[in-house]
Amino acid sequence: MGKKLMPQEVIDLIDSKADLIVPIANGEPIRLLDILEENAEQLDGVRIHQMLALRSRSYIQGDIEQLRHVSYFLSGATRKVYQQAKMELVPNNFHEVPRLLRKTTKMSMILTVASPMDEHGYFTLGTQADYIAEFIGKVPFILEVNDQMPRTFGRNQIHISQIAGYVEHHAALSEEKVMEVSDKDLLIASSIIQDIQDGDTLQIGIGSVPNAVISMLKDHRHLGIHTEMLPDGVAKLVAAGAVDGTRKFTNPGKIVATFAFGSKNLYDFIDNNPAVEFLPVSVVNDPREIAKEKNIVSINSTTEVDLFGQCASETVGGKYYSSSGGQVDFARGVRFAENGKGYICMPSTAKDDTLSRIKLQLAPGSVVTTGKNDVDHIVTEYGVARLHGVSISERARRLAAIAHPKFREELLFDAKKHGFLI
């Protein structure tokens, strides 16, 4: 039976050469990681595995030799460290992370934030399920109980008998900085909105374009949500009567996500809300599960696209910025769905319109996230290029047509010169 732990008792539970798993975003346990850093001299060769670390720490910077950070998705806290070759980054598709952890680590312990225990002895993982929920009852957990963490529903309940112990640390959750919606974002969103029908199920990514899409959906009806990250605007769509999930093919009537990250309004919306269910990422992002939603629409973003339709969504100017996340999971899932549609969005230019994001070739060092065989639609403020099942020659023409007008002639000239056009 799990008990409240003193710092030394936490350290005593960590074996030499342990692999510790920390969840994404607000699942990151501030106090537990403080304890590890403060008592690092008692540890030996411990690796901490995590996606999207929220806070820069001494061990992430490589300043504590007994603790090493292993990333599965870069963030502001880890990006420069990786670019300085001071930490490891493991390539992955989001739905496969639990399998990768099981295969390549000892799975020694999971450290996570949880909402307070209820009268039945259950904590919840709150804003989380992600890559840790499926290990409940199978891997030891140490919880950091936070009374600011919302109590939520889904496959993220953990009983006190299933934990090695807990500490308490009560603090406000981190909130996502709301990205301002630009005129370009609204133009991109307007092209996508034309293809969203009443009753469709949506996967909406993070960023200003998804925010713009959400702002235009209030007059739709019977929409469903099946998404990896639950964004802020979903609460507004529920209030407007646009989202009820009644036409979903899986989990009807439920808003399904694997984690939530947004404002306090979002956290208040999911608190004790049985309409929202957090499921493991191995379920939410599995292309086979996504495909069961016959009318699913996936909306994500990228940084540049070449004339094959290859999307570099995790590098910027050839330097690593993030990782693949779930973009490929949903690109493949919508492909298998009966009426699935996938949209990858971006402004047509960068650097004050001096650089086209649609290019003959990706910038040197860029990494392909969504490949040419999986891409469906590319969207800029100049329209939609429908690419699936389209020849390379026609792709080049369609992509040039949605590039910024001042780059179109050059793109077509280069495409002809390099044998893209026939």
Task: Give the pLDDT confidence of 398-421 residue by residue, as tens digits.
Answer: 999 999 999 999 999 999 999 998
- Where do runs of H (alpha helix) occur along 315-417? 327-336, 392-401, 405-417
Checking if the pLDDT of 296 tops 80, the result is yes
**Strand, helix or coil at 222?**
coil
Note if 168 is an active site residue. no
**Catalytic residue chosen out of the listed positions 28, 228, 293, 304:** 228
76, 80, 85, 88: CA torsion to nearest 10: 0
Q: How far is Cα 263 from Cα 270, in angstroms, rounded to an integer?
A: 11
Ramachandran bin of 199, using left for φ above 0, alpha for ψ from -120 to 50, beta for the remaining angles: left
Strands 304-306 and 311-312: antiparallel
pLDDT tens figures, 35-53: 999 999 999 999 999 999 9
The C-alpha atoms of residue 408 and residue 358 are separated, in whole angstroms, by 9
Report how far residue 219's alpha carbon sits from residue 239's, in angstroms, rounded to the nearest whole number: 11
Write out pLDDT tens, residues 60-80.
Answer: 999 999 999 999 999 999 999
Residue 2 reports pLDDT greater than 90: no
Contacts of 375 (CB under 8 A, 6+ apart): 309, 310, 311, 331, 342, 344, 387, 388
The string of pLDDT tens digits covering residues 320-367 is 999 999 999 999 999 999 999 999 999 999 988 999 999 999 999 999
Mean pLDDT, residues 211-237 taken together = 95
Residue 1 clears pLDDT 90, i.e. is over it: no
Angle at 247 between CA 246 and CA 252, to 5 degrees: 55
Taking alpha carbons only, the member of 287, 276, 384 closest to residue 340 is 287
Q: What's the CA gap between 285 and 302, in Å, rounded?
A: 18
**pTM confidence score:** 0.96
Summarize the confidence of residues 217-228 as an average pLDDT: 98
* Residue at 112: amino acid letter: T
CA neighbor of 89 nearest in space, from 327, 330, 374, 319 = 319
Give the DSSP letter string of 81-127: HHHTT-SEE----GGGHHHHHHHHS---EEEEEEPPP-TTSEEE-TT
As a whole number, the mean pLDDT across the chain is: 96
Helical segments of 194-240, H only = 208-215, 234-239
Q: How far, in whole angstroms, is CA 89 from its chain's centroid?
A: 16
